Amino acid sequence: MRSPLVALPKTELHIHIEGSLEPEMMVALAQRNGIALPYDSVEAVRAAYQFENLQSFLDLYYAGAQVLQSEQDFYDLTWAYLQKCALQGVRHTEIFFDPQTHTDRGIAFEVVHSGITQALHDAKGELGVSSALILCFLRHLSAEAAMATLEQALPYRDSIIAVGLDSSELGHPPSKFQAVFDRARAEGFLTVAHAGEEGPPEYIWEALRLLQVSRIDHGVRSLEDPALVEYLVEHQIPLTVCPLSNIKLCVFDTMAQHNLKQLLELGLCVTINSDDPAYFGGYLAENFEAVESALGLLPEQLVQLAKNSFKASFLSPAEQQPYLQELTAYAASLA
Cα–Cα dist 273/11, whole Å: 8
DSSP state of 148: H
* Beta strand 190-195 pairing with 162-166: parallel
Per-residue pLDDT, 125: 97
In three-state secondary structure terms, 92 is strand
Print the domain residue range for 24.
Answer: 13-334
Which of 14-18, 46-50, 218-222, 239-243 shows the lowest mean pLDDT across its residues? 46-50
The answer to the question of residue 311 being in a domain is yes
243 contacts 260 by C-beta, under 8 angstroms: yes
More confident residue, 64 or 159: 159
300 is catalytic: no
The answer to the question of residue 78 being in a domain is yes
Average pLDDT, integer, range 222-227: 98
In three-state secondary structure terms, 174 is helix
In three-state secondary structure terms, 302 is helix
Taking alpha carbons only, the member of 12, 161, 163 closest to residue 89 is 12
In three-state secondary structure terms, 194 is strand
Per-residue pLDDT, 1: 47
The answer to the question of residue 4 being in a domain is no
Sign of CA dihedral 320, 325, 331, 334: negative
Per-residue pLDDT, 122: 98
DSSP state of 210: T
Write down the mean pLDDT value for the chain. 95
The answer to the question of residue 85 being in a domain is yes
Average pLDDT, integer, range 151-164: 97
Cα–Cα dist 283/249, whole Å: 16
Per-residue pLDDT, 288: 96
In three-state secondary structure terms, 263 is helix
Count of structural domains within the chain: 1
Give the bridge partners for 193, in sequence order: 216
pLDDT bracket for residue 2 (50, 70, 90): low
Residue of 12, 94, 197, 286 marked catalytic: 197
pLDDT at 4 over 80: no
The answer to the question of residue 24 being in a domain is yes
The answer to the question of residue 212 being in a domain is yes
- The continuous run of DSSP H or E covering 141 comes out as none
pLDDT at 141 over 60: yes
Q: What is the CATH number of the domain that holds 211?
A: 3.20.20.140
Average pLDDT, integer, range 43-55: 83
Per-residue pLDDT, 152: 97
